[in-house]
Structure 1
Amino acid sequence: MRLIQGKISLRTRLFLAMIVLVFIACMMILVATYYQYGSESESYNQFRMERKEKQLRSQINYLVFQNSLSLSSSETWSIYNNDLQAVMNILSVDYSIFDLKGNPLFISFLPLKIIANNYVLDTKIINKIQTNSNKRYVEKNIDEIGKFQSSYSYLIDQSGNPYAILFFPYFEDVSFSENELNTFLQSLYQIYLIMLVIAIGIAYFISKYVTRSLETLRLQINSTGLLKRNKRIHLKNPSREIDSLINSYNNMIDDLEKSAERLAKTEREQAWQEMARQVAHEIKNPLTPMRLSIQNFQRRFDPMDNKNKNKVEEFSRLLIEQIDIMSNVANAFSDFATLPKAQLLPTDIVETTRRATEIFEYENVKFNSTSEKILCPLDEPQWIRAMSNLIQNGLQSVGTKKKAKIEINLFQKNNKIIIEVSDNGAGIDPNLKDKIFEPKFTTKTKGMGLGLGIVKNIIEAHKGQISYSSNSKSGTIFIIKLTLKQS
């Protein structure tokens, strides 16, 4: 799923989470393997140390028992230095022997701290040997020759009594184990690298598979609209959670379609009701004076009156006038509903607009153009009708208290043709600016409110725009913009 507004998508989060988990698992296994290998190495060295020490103790006891050295003095021990040295060479180990007080009996190797103590064991070491249950004390040493373990233990005679203290240094041969560990870790690194690459591929496809249903939902929801024909979602083998989301979406689509149908039906009914009220209102307007005229004529009619002819003519004129008003109402609604599609042909817009103003030559309508001729795609009858409606609207806005003044200015700016129709009327209330082009809306006592609606439809059919600016003092200016070169 893509990134939206800088946020990490669910697919990316799943992918990264699986990679991190695999990486952490590899590191944990690697660390555990390292410590396990170290623990096994330590156990092995401990076992090897005890085995060598046991062999050494056996050889020393044999030599001591054969020569009855267990109760001998240090001078007697020195006589057998060569034999003790031979044991050291046979077993390839170093060792030293002290009496029970810590004085040296045989020395081949000693830690620096014992050498610094005049080759005498510290009483602390002797005490630790005595207090230990197996009469043995092991400590780790570090000096100039490296790391090693020092084992201090009693040598026991045939009666089970200690007769001396054995010092046995054990030097671990770590070169082989370290090389083996490094080789093992290198192989493990390579295996983990291959596993990580495979895990990345698997994580990518799993994250893509898991979020595929959500991506389908997202795309479908983005394309959902109230007035669209929305499609239901059907997926094969979705998970329980995704299936619940899909069912909720499909139910919402069903409810949305029902709501859209109810809304469209309500709007159609309201439109017809509003149109019916408007038509009824406009027809009732002339019917009232017609009724009053007939009633008045009945009261005043005298068969013997010599002026009956004039009265009948006057009465007929009033009826015809009101009938014409009703006919105009019907024609206006019919024209608005059946406005034909504009047939745009190359036409001189300057001459066509001038002809539209000529029928108002007695109404103080002035036309100005900066060009003698401008060819523009026009439907000539509809254009004349739009201009006539704008001029008529301006004349009606002035009223009878002052002389109307309508001015039409036509000019070209870049690839735009601009027509400005201005009047000196009372202007348009700012609160009504959003309704001025709506059908059936009017601020006048006469008219059906269809004139500006028809004008707007005609201008838009010519791929143009219409707007206005209004001031209560200077009047209103309607501004029409047409594109000179239409694709």
Structure 2
Amino acid sequence: MILALYNRQLVEKRSDEAIFNELKERSNYIENDIQSKLLEKNKISLTNIFELTGKDLGISFTIYDNTLQIFNSMDQYYKAGIFAERINPQVYYNLNYLSFREYTIKENIEEYVFNSFYKKISVDNKNYILAVNDAFNKVRLTFSTSDLDVLLFGIYLLAALIIILISTFLADKISSPIRRLTKATMSVAQGDLNVSLDNQEKGELKDLLDGFNLMTNELKRNQSELAELEREAAWKEMAKQVAHEIKNPLTPMKLSIQQLIAAFRDKNKRFDEIFEKVSPTILNQIESLNSIASEFSRFAKMPSYKIEEVDLANVATDVINLFTDEAVDIQLEINDQLPKISADNSQVRRLLINLIRNSIQAGASKIKLLINHENNFCNLVIEDNGKGIAPEITDKIFEQNFTTKTSGMGLGLKLAKRFLDGIGGDIQLIESSKPGATFKVTFPISQKNSFI
């Protein structure tokens, strides 16, 4: 803004100088032409000479004798009272009392401002004052203040647009990694610890993203160690419980067998009676052991899930939003107005995150999720264009600890299968080609909320 004001003042000053120089030059033409006509036409009055000069040169001017106007090319304007018939007092003071040879000034009629040039001339041995202004003599400038205003407006508008574009680019460059970090943080909060951010930033942003990737790797390692410790602690506790439960039936079994051995060695005549008496006891304790084994087997296989009504479409939409900054196109297609499913919300989210993450890690650039309703089940079909699954390993993908990745525990699909079996659903590999793989996940329709 300051630069614009400075440039405008500079151009205005140069424009005024150019105007006054042009008016001065025109006044010289008028003076020379008057002198020339005086020599040629001695018998013509001064007024006629002034009129001829104005017509020949096409220049409007005014002649003052002392302070009074004696000639004006545009006399009608002065007679109408638009212009004063006496000279400007400031001009008269500078020319006569300060003895200036010529004088320039800005004059005005109400709000209209014009430039005037006054000059002393000698005509027929008498001094007069010649006045020329740009109110009646338009001066064409090569570069006016109006042209400057247009040019400056264009320049500063272009500069503003460039600044806005650069600011937008820089803001997006700064905010883009922050957005990616926010999405990745949300993914981690949903249980996706396989997320990793590509880091090509510099400075503090690079340190921040490196710290996030280090954090997720540490979380995965800690999760693995914690899961191992929890499993070890659980099995130790289970072993204690099993040992305690087994001891209860073993004691009467031991006593019964010892009684049979003693009766056999003593050739006790009541051996048959004793045998008939202790045999049911031993069989009952064996049955108790069998029940204990079955109960612990079911305990080991059946995890506890919070079964509730889950809107599968909303969950799928939320999970897809976690991958908006990934280099993959994820499409969601819902064929029917879906009923709610009966499942554990957090487990469903983890399952979808795991399936989408598997597709991305398999090199997929397009993933399609199709959800429909069939009988008492909702089906989720997920297709991708990744590298697919080799035929020789398709039967192993749901096995525990099986993985084709260089890192991870190989529990993703196994846990998904285990969860779906636990709620009455299913997961199947429908098709695997090169490229692409298609999984079908089945969820039971919800009847009510409960815990199992």
Task: Give the TM-score, by structure 1 length.
Answer: 0.43
For CA contacts below 8 A with separation 6 or more, give which structure has more relative contact order: 2
Return the TM-score normalized by structure 2: 0.46
- Bigger CA radius of gyration: 1
